[in-house]
């Protein structure tokens, strides 16, 4: 006869003490402790305590509670009964006030909505609004933000959007936008292009010269980011290109460059099979105390 499968034990967590703190902070503590918000319930009770303060909790603090066990927080709140005429607030007997208990139903329904209304002013501040509200807030200032941008940079751009619009298409505006995104101020060189064009005997195609369409230096500029190319990810580089295209004048051509890595001028020892004597710096004859680079006469 096959044995019946044993029931797996439920995972238990230590119940934190959330009494005496605000309901929002209590929910945050429970979530950080590992409890699911779907199992956290709220029951309101009138008490001489600040509104929305947790005055009791079930199960009590300190015990082990299963992650799928219901948790009830008793929260202090002023009943809607006090908004009715005095004749309805009188108790009919020693028992519970029937109208007060009935009105708690509407408190549970509209309490969260009322909290949002009380904090409505925060939704219009880009530094305090919730992250989900930022795209809608950006649309108020006709700013399109990339969803992949860090939250902190989104808030800074929305806050300074009007200032950026006033100087849009200028060197100052492009510097401001890029400095907010990259956290470093780029250097912009106007009427400059990194390639001088092809000259026979002076440049080599693919090495120090490339084939490009005609470039008018009067309508071009260079953006130099004071950071090494290896410090930026591919996504960051693409976003920098998107910002430049969005902020530059439509007729202008640009070139993006990063700070060059310092050249390594230290001499390396000569190894057979790894270097060739006399060919630029591939092979170097080195001793224990001194390193000597061969001259042109010695290698011929």
| pLDDT band at 108; cut points 50, 70, 90 | confident
**Least trusted range by pLDDT, from 196-205, 233-242, 288-297:** 288-297
* Portion of the chain with pLDDT greater than 90, in percent: 2
State the average pLDDT over residues 197-223.
69
Please choose, from the candidates 11, 16, 115, the residue with its C-alpha nearest in 3D space to the C-alpha of residue 71. Answer: 16
| pLDDT band at 282; cut points 50, 70, 90 | very low
pLDDT at residue number 281:
45
* Portion of the chain with pLDDT greater than 70, in percent: 75
For 8-39, write each residue's pLDDT tens digit: 456 788 889 999 898 889 988 998 988 888 88
Mean pLDDT of the chain: 77
pLDDT at residue number 200:
57
| pLDDT band at 2; cut points 50, 70, 90 | low
Q: Return the CATH architecture of domain 12-118.
A: 2-Layer Sandwich (3.30)
State the average pLDDT over residues 229-244.
81
For 50-105, write each residue's pLDDT tens digit: 888 999 998 888 888 888 888 999 998 888 888 888 878 777 666 677 888 888 88
Distance in angstroms (rounded) separating the CA atoms of residues 188 and 124: 34
pLDDT at residue number 270:
45
State the average pLDDT over residues 239-247.
86
Residue 240 has pLDDT above 60, yes or no: yes
Residue 177 has pLDDT above 80, yes or no: yes
pLDDT at residue number 286:
41
pLDDT at residue number 298:
45
For 143-170, write each residue's pLDDT tens digit: 877 777 788 888 888 888 888 888 888 8
Distance in angstroms (rounded) separating the CA atoms of residues 71 and 222: 61
By the 8 A CB rule, do 22 and 53 touch? yes
pLDDT at residue number 151:
86
| pLDDT band at 268; cut points 50, 70, 90 | low
Domain ranges of the chain: 12-118, 122-160, 167-259, 266-300
Distance in angstroms (rounded) separating the CA atoms of residues 243 and 177: 8
By the 8 A CB rule, do 261 and 227 touch? no
By the 8 A CB rule, do 248 and 270 touch? no
| pLDDT band at 287; cut points 50, 70, 90 | very low
More confident residue, 9 or 134: 134
């Amino acid at each position: 006869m096959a044995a019946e499968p044993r029931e797996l034990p439920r995972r238990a967590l230590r119940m934190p003490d959330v009494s005496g703190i605000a309901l929002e902070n209590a929910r945050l503590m429970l979530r950080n402790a590992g409890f699911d918000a779907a199992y956290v319930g709220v029951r309101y009770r009138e008490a001489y305590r600040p509104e929305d303060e947790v005055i009791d909790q079930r199960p009590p603090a300190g015990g082990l509670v299963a992650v799928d066990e219901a948790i009830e927080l008793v929260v202090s709140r002023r009943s809607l009964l006090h908004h009715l005429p005095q004749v309805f607030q009188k108790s009919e007997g020693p028992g519970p006030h029937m109208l007060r208990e009935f009105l708690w139903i509407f408190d549970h329904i509209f309490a969260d909505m009322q909290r949002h209304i009380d904090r409505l002013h925060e939704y219009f501040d880009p530094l305090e609004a919730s992250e989900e509200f930022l795209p809608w807030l950006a649309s108020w200032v006709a700013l399109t933000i990339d969803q992949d941008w860090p939250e902190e940079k989104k808030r800074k751009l929305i806050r300074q959007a009007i200032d950026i619009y006033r100087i849009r298409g200028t060197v100052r505006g492009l510097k401001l936008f890029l400095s907010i995104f990259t956290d470093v101020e780029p250097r912009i060189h106007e009427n400059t292009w990194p390639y001088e064009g092809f000259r026979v005997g002076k440049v080599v195609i693919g090495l120090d010269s490339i084939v490009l369409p005609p470039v008018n230096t009067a309508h071009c500029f260079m953006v130099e980011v004071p950071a090494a190319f290896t410090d930026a990810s591919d996504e960051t580089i693409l976003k920098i290109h998107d910002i430049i295209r969005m902020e530059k004048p439509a007729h202008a051509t640009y070139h993006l460059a990063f700070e060059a890595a310092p050249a390594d001028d230290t001499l390396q020892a000569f190894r057979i099979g790894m270097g060739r004597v006399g060919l630029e710096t591939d092979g170097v004859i080195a001793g224990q105390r001194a390193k000597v680079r061969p001259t042109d006469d010695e290698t011929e």
